[in-house]
Structure 1
Amino acid sequence: MKDIVIHCSFESDMFQHCGLKELYASINQVFTMDPSFPGAPSLFIHFPNLEDWNTEYRTPTPTISMDVIAKDVARYCPLLKGLHTGTGGDITKDLLLQVFRNLSTIVVSYKILSADIVTAILSHHNTLEHLMTFIPHDGFLESDNVPALTDQLQHSRRAIDLLPQLCTKLKLLCLSLHEMHIDEIEQVTWGCKGLEALHIRIHGLNTKEKIDRTIQLWRDGRAKSTALKDGAGALQCDTSIEARVARHLLRFEKLRKIWLGHKIRTINGPL
């Protein structure tokens, strides 16, 4: 019997997992080439329908160039529009600027946010729908205690505040360690009119009682006349920080889920 010889090409005969849409793997894991196959493509060749790539938290420094990553992403994973990355600032910036175009989801570490990273994120402002930072630990958002803010990145605060102004397609903005100031919020316009979920801290809303009152004012405003959504009526006369934040929240008619430092609050069903 003659030996059967099968000739495989990486481009056409590689086994593909067409159902896999989310991948958890570091950059080095994806691009570790088999030394017995010089020029072998990355693992991306196996996942033509990949939509989200999680490079894992505190991933090691990659040993592959951004040009190679960009080439393989474009060639093998045309549907890849979500990036979850725990890499350092320079690597994250390069991924956002050199590898990806038109991302719809970006998840990064809050500690690396800077003017440069914000600029890199804003390069996706026309398509970005979900922008999040990693939370410190499981259960953080559901804690009974209002967490103290120890690292507020004050030097980058104004840059970070540009994100809801310029990313007009945002549906979900979760910056749970970022503190905004209502005085500054009231002076600008957030362009993300279709916002559905918001996780931020507001300077001065530092107790459960203040946060709870803010949420209640928001809920009451949603349940009443549409005039209240624009800050009319009794709420307009209230100058407390709780009322000012509630008036801002009422500008977003699709907003259903809010976290201001004390448990996630949700409004369900049509309004």
Structure 2
Amino acid sequence: MQLSPHNRPSNPLDLPEIRSHIARFLNCKDCLSCMRVSRDWSHDFAPYVWHTIDFAKDATAFGKVTTETLDKYGGLIAQILNIASAENLQALQHSKVDSIKSMDVRLPNNWLYRELLSDLILRCSGSVKDLIIQSASPNPNTFEEQRKWSTHFLHVNDIFTVYPPILPGQGPISNYECCLRALALWYVCITREGLSSLLRCCPSLDELTLVRVMLICHKPSLTLYTGSRLRYLSASLQQVYCNDTEDPKAPCLLLHFPLLKEWKISWMIRPTQWPTDTIPDAFSEWCPHFKTVTFATESTEIMKDLLLNSFNDLESCTLSSKNLEISTALGLLSHLDSMTSLTITDDKQDKEVTQMVFLIVKLCRNLQVLSIESIVCDVEIVEKARWACQDLRELRVRFKGLDSPRDIEGCIRQVCGQRRSGRDETYVSRSLDQGSILGRIAQFLLQFKQLKTVWLGTKNIYLPPSRTA
């Protein structure tokens, strides 16, 4: 059935799709004003008003919200930040507050708080995907002090359960499954058996962050869960290896994660039980799919050992320029056949760092992504270097003499123009201003026929395909 012309809305804001799109760009106060226009407007703008509750800013206002209001809007709350008191949790005690997707909570030494927290997480267990649980750092900040206080202990079975919540008038849901995707734990103590239970009842867990988490009470008689689907881990070396201060022979945490792909090593102090002359080399046994690593800035020596002796066939590596020495460069080159992505961070500008970068690009022929934003390259050195990685897809680099947005735009304009023209290399060389910095950099970029994304100091620029590729 065709709508007659007079049925079409005369104002774009009469369309709910337009209102919902606009709401994404307004602040909470403006969305609240829009809710008061009409019932239809309230329906479209309310999700953006109620999406996030931050108790660091909204505790007083949210504490005044009535039961009737939560009846109407409680189901729209998707993110809760900085839950720090029993009063915060009591304000959320409502059956309609059951669709929270993201929570950030503290662990105080308060049993009422813990009970209310357990109630909230179980009520939202079918929706919560991202969860941060943290306790305050101990004073003094030591493992011994952390273990003294009950406020740091995470009671896994009080928060996560292998049983589904029972809805009023219903029996257990046989196909229930926890949908938690990302979990971060800060300054908490947990038993090794508790960690196994946590992983077992969170089959969708994909990302885990551990900051000063104490794993205690390991016993060889306990069967550890090794079926986690986790792929992304952020934890220190000591967290992964020296995870039980009472039992230095407690097995490595990595055995829980057979599907691990990426590890961000947040702290690189050598674990106390490691021999001084070698390090464990069972990574391929524990994590056969491990291909991506991000290194912290401490201990170049450990980084070199891991690259040379522990990791096999790395595809992606991120490290600081402060650690880019001959030993780590050799470690990276031990993966030259598999390495496709390299990112250098931090701003250390010296001759040795530059030499190591150009040694890597000379030999790592399979590189597709190279990010060296922190390094300012001399055009003459870049031109003389031999770039074996001719299949680069993404390049992020700065050049000496190419500083202003106008010059960068001019250089990119030359590259795009030559790519669209489809001329041969001889014509391209003649048509560019070879004496200028812009022309020389454009000529350099044009050698990479597969290059799609380039960053020269301002923003990502997407290049048209090369007709001669």
Q: Structure 2: how far apart are the matches of 1:225 and 1:268?
A: 11
Change beyond 3 A, Cα 1:12–1:251: farther
Larger of the two Rg values belongs to structure = 2
1:198 paired with 2:409, answer: no
Stretch moving more, 31-40 or 199-208? 31-40
The amino acid across from 1:121 in the alignment is L
Q: How many residues matched?
A: 246
Structure that is richer in helix per residue: 2
Change beyond 3 A, Cα 1:201–1:230: farther
1:208 paired with 2:405, answer: yes
What residue number does 2:264 align with?
54
What residue number does 2:294 align with?
84
Work out whether residues 194 and 252 of structure 1, in 8 Å CA contact, stay in contact via their aligned partners in 2: yes
1:242 paired with 2:445, answer: no
TM-score of the aligned structures, taking structure 2 as reference length: 0.48
Change beyond 3 A, Cα 1:229–1:80: farther
Q: Structure 1: how far apart are the matches of 2:420 and 2:222?
A: 57
Q: Secondary structure at the match of 1:69?
A: coil
Question: What is the CA deviation profile of residues 166-195 of structure 1, one whole-angstrom value per residue up to 9, with x for unaligned ones?
Answer: 110100000111122221222232111110
What residue number does 1:129 align with?
340
The amino acid across from 2:428 in the alignment is G
Match of 1:65 among 268, 274, 294: 274
Q: Structure 1: how far apart are the matches of 2:222 and 2:339?
A: 33
What residue number does 2:235 align with?
25
Work out whether residues 295 and 318 of structure 2, in 8 Å CA contact, stay in contact via their aligned partners in 1: yes
What residue number does 1:260 align with?
456
Higher RCO structure (Cα 8 Å, ≥6 apart):
1
Change beyond 3 A, Cα 1:101–1:12: farther
Q: Secondary structure at the match of 2:281?
A: helix
1:34 paired with 2:244, answer: yes
Work out whether residues 16 and 48 of structure 1, in 8 Å CA contact, stay in contact via their aligned partners in 2: yes
Q: Structure 2: how far apart are the matches of 1:127 and 1:256?
A: 21
Structure 2 regions of 5+ residues with no counterpart?
1-218
What residue number does 1:139 align with?
none
What residue number does 2:373 align with?
176
Structure 1 regions of 5+ residues with no counterpart?
1-8, 137-149
Change beyond 3 A, Cα 1:224–1:131: same
**Per-residue deviation, 1:113:** 1.4
**Per-residue deviation, 1:229:** 8.8
Q: Structure 2: how far apart are the matches of 1:101 and 1:11?
A: 31
Q: Structure 2: how far apart are the matches of 1:250 and 1:229?
A: 12
CA RMSD of aligned residues (A): 2.8
Q: Secondary structure at the match of 1:206?
A: coil
Work out whether residues 449 and 466 of structure 2, in 8 Å CA contact, stay in contact via their aligned partners in 1: no
Q: Structure 1: how far apart are the matches of 2:222 and 2:430?
A: 66
Q: Structure 2: how far apart are the matches of 1:23 and 1:234?
A: 50
What residue number does 2:330 align with?
119
Q: Structure 2: how far apart are the matches of 1:229 and 1:199?
A: 26
Q: Structure 2: how far apart are the matches of 1:230 and 1:100?
A: 46
